[in-house]
Amino acid sequence: MRTRYGLRTQLLLLVGISLFFLFLIETLVSYAIGLHVTNQVFDRWLLDSAYSLAQEVRRDGGRLRFYADKAAIEVFEWDELDQVYFRVATPDGQVLGGQAEPWVAADIATLKQGPMFRNVELNGEWARSVTVLANPDSPDSTAIVSVAETLNKRSPLARTLMAEVIVSKIILFAVALLLIAIALSKGIRPLRKLSQELANRSPRDLTTIETPPAPHEVHTLVDNTNRLLRRLDTAFTLREQFIGNISHQLKTPLAGIKLQAQLALRDNDITSVHAALERICQTTDAMSHVNNQLLKLARAEAASGRGLRNEVVALNSVVQEVTSGLKYLAQEREVHVVSQLDGADFRVLGEYTLLRELVWNLVENAILYIDRGGSVWVLLATDNVTGEIVLTVKDNGAGIPREHWPQIFERFFRSRNVGEGCGLGLAIVREIAIAHSAEVSLEAAPDTTGACFVTRFPPMESA
């Protein structure tokens, strides 16, 4: 499915969204720190004011008095923006100065531990309040001093602080996104060059791509693309050779059919005509066999390319079905077929029809290419070292000459020109084995002189 955005845009969105949330968190943290520092400054002024008032509380004779004069109090309470309140009282509630009604519940034991800050509501407005003890070391001279100030100066300052933090973070965020966009554009430039080179290529051009100066990931992409191009080039070359082989294989029988038909048309002898028609039928059967084998080979190659429709296949059942299906051929050629399955359950991953074709070709070849009265053995076993499932098909015939072993799995190669084969059976076996990640080979059997084909399937858990 075609994506809506390019790689650069997608990366920028991913990084930008993550960066946005990081900046949002950092903005809130910065605002909280700035607001805390601001409040600390105002709270320090309140505390200094409270201690200043506390110094004016002294004992005169037998009475505790608040000695601040009226002019000093007026200066203390004057503020252009905020309303300032204070209250000086004895622990038993006797008011020495300021507001008559207390706005905080002050506890002597708590106040001895330090100043007590509170947010309170005075005359319908929120205010910040601090309460301290005057003369805490003289119990008979101790007084409770409270100072409060409304928040008219603090609120605009908090809003200004928030605006400055937000503006600075927005500018920083925009600059960061711009730098990231420039870096991404430079980073994906090799990919754009690679894309442009591939787009401008001819469909027939399968030469490898030159690796540009680029990051490791781009080098990996180019290397994988080059491997794919080499595989495609090899596949096309093999396909051309295959088509050439098919043309060669079909040209001879077609020429024979035409020749026999021409001879039959010229000959008035019914016996000769009948013989020519029989030869035409035999040639047609051979062509039909070649055609069937080619279709099987094409299906095996397709399985190697597209991957298998994996299912659990019991090779026991496959061997039993094949030996049963070839029973009449074996009887006709007086060949004794022996199956040795060791009574175990041999399971592999793959396609049943392809595995049946593999076993069928191996057993059928063994029956067809040994002398009458020979024997064929089909064995299934498990390799105790590797865990592989080993299928062995061997016979006691004349065997295959050693010099032909390297070519035995090539298409249209025939070790001996006997029988009705076309040299595709073992090529089909090899393609099916490759599709199943298996290995098939021709090996020397210690107990027989005939051919011995061994197919090794990987264990099912690693297949």
Would you say 150 and 82 are in contact if contact means Cβ atoms under 8 Å apart? yes
How sure is the predictor about 179, in pLDDT bands with cuts at 50, 70 and 90? Answer: confident
CA dist 219 and 347 (Å) reads 41
Short-list 385, 416, 402, CA closest to 452: 402
Q: Which fold has domain 10-159?
A: Beta-Lactamase (3.30.450)
How high does pLDDT run on average in the chain?
81
The whole-number pLDDT of residue 362 equals 93
The tens digit of pLDDT for each residue in 200-213 reads: 777 777 777 776 67
- Token digits of residue 148: 């409060």
Other Cβ atoms closer than 10 A to 354: 21
Would you say 303 and 351 are in contact if contact means Cβ atoms under 8 Å apart? yes
The whole-number pLDDT of residue 376 equals 94
Would you say 428 and 293 are in contact if contact means Cβ atoms under 8 Å apart? yes
Is the pLDDT score of 158 beyond 60? yes
Q: Where are the domains of the chain?
A: 10-159, 198-307, 308-462
Cross-strand partners of 439: 456
Q: What is the mean pLDDT of residues 301-321?
A: 76
How sure is the predictor about 452, in pLDDT bands with cuts at 50, 70 and 90? Answer: very high
Written in H, E and C, the secondary structure of the chain is CCCCCCHHHHHHHHHHHHHHHHHHHHHHHHHHHHHHHHHHHHHHHHHHHHHHHHCCEEEECCEEEECCCHHHHHHHHCCCCCCEEEEEECCCCCEEEECCCCCCCCCHHHHCCCCEEEEEEECCEEEEEEEEEECCCCHHHCEEEEEEEECCCHHHHHHHHHHHHHHHHHHHHHHHHHHHHHHHHHHCHHHHHHHHHHHCCCCCCCCCCCCCCCCHHHHHHHHHHHHHHHHHHHHHHHHHHHHHHHHHHHHHHHHHHHHHHHHHHHCCCHHHHHHHHHHHHHHHHHHHHHHHHHHHHHHHHHHHHHCCCCEEEEHHHHHHHHHHHCHHHHHHCCCEEEEECCCCCCEEEECHHHHHHHHHHHHHHHHHCCCCCCEEEEEEEECCCCCCEEEEEEECCCCCCHHHHHHCCCCCCCCCCCCCCCCCHHHHHHHHHHHCCCEEEECCCCCCCCCEEEEEECCHHHC
How sure is the predictor about 1, in pLDDT bands with cuts at 50, 70 and 90? Answer: very low
Would you say 141 and 59 are in contact if contact means Cβ atoms under 8 Å apart? yes
The whole-number pLDDT of residue 38 equals 80
Q: Which fold has domain 198-307?
A: Helix Hairpins (1.10.287)
Handedness of CA 83, 88, 91, 92 (dihedral sign): negative
Is the pLDDT score of 80 beyond 90? no
Is the pLDDT score of 454 beyond 60? yes
Would you say 66 and 97 are in contact if contact means Cβ atoms under 8 Å apart? yes
Residue type at position 379 = L
Would you say 308 and 349 are in contact if contact means Cβ atoms under 8 Å apart? yes
Q: Which of 150-164, 269-283, 386-400, 407-421 has the highest mean pLDDT?
A: 386-400
The whole-number pLDDT of residue 392 equals 94
Would you say 380 and 391 are in contact if contact means Cβ atoms under 8 Å apart? yes
The tens digit of pLDDT for each residue in 10-38 reads: 888 888 888 888 888 888 888 888 788 88
Would you give the distance in Å from CA 354 to the centre of its chain? 31
How sure is the predictor about 124, in pLDDT bands with cuts at 50, 70 and 90? Answer: confident
| pTM across the whole model | 0.49
Is the pLDDT score of 177 beyond 70? yes
What percentage of residues in the chain have a pLDDT greater than 90? 15
How sure is the predictor about 394, in pLDDT bands with cuts at 50, 70 and 90? Answer: very high
Class of domain 308-462: alpha beta
CA dist 321 and 436 (Å) reads 20
CA dist 350 and 345 (Å) reads 16
The tens digit of pLDDT for each residue in 323-377 reads: 999 999 999 999 999 988 766 778 988 888 889 889 998 999 899 888 888 999 9
Phi then psi for residue 153, to 5 deg, are -80, -30
Backbone torsion region of residue 210, taken as left when φ is above 0, otherwise alpha when ψ lies between -120 and 50, otherwise beta: beta
Residue type at position 225 = T
CA dist 281 and 405 (Å) reads 34
Other Cβ atoms closer than 10 A to 395: 26
